[in-house]
Amino acid sequence: MRVGVLALQGGFIEHIRHLQSLGADTFEIRKCWDLAQPMDGLIIPGGESTTIGKLLNDLDLFDDLKKKIDSGLPVFGTCAGMILLAREIAGTETVYFDSIDIIVKRNAYGRQLGSFFTEAEMTGIGTVPMTFIRAPYIESAGAGVEILSVVNGRIVAAREKNVLVTAFHPELTSDNRVHRYFIENVIRI
Return the pLDDT at 134: 87
> What would the pLDDT profile of 127-154 be if each residue is shown by its tens digit?
999 999 989 999 999 999 999 999 999 9
CA distance 138 to 105: 6
**CATH homologous superfamily, domain 2-187:** Class I glutamine amidotransferase (GATase) domain (3.40.50.880)
The larger pLDDT score, comparing residue 10 to residue 4, is at 4
> What would the pLDDT profile of 171-181 be if each residue is shown by its tens digit?
999 999 999 99
CA distance 170 to 177: 8
For residues 71-90, average pLDDT: 97
Residue spans per domain, the chain: 2-187
What are the catalytic residues? 79, 169, 171
Residues linked to residue 41 through DSSP beta bridges, in sequence order? 3
pLDDT at 112 over 70: no
For residues 28-32, average pLDDT: 97
pTM: 0.96
Eight-state DSSP code of residue 34: G
* Radius of gyration, alpha carbons of the chain: 15
**Where residue 108 falls among pLDDT bands split at 50, 70, 90?**
confident
Cβ atoms of residues 151 and 187 within 8 Å:
no
Cβ atoms of residues 171 and 14 within 8 Å:
yes
**Where residue 186 falls among pLDDT bands split at 50, 70, 90?**
very high
Which residue blocks in 22-174 are alpha helix, DSSP H?
Answer: 49-58, 62-70, 80-85
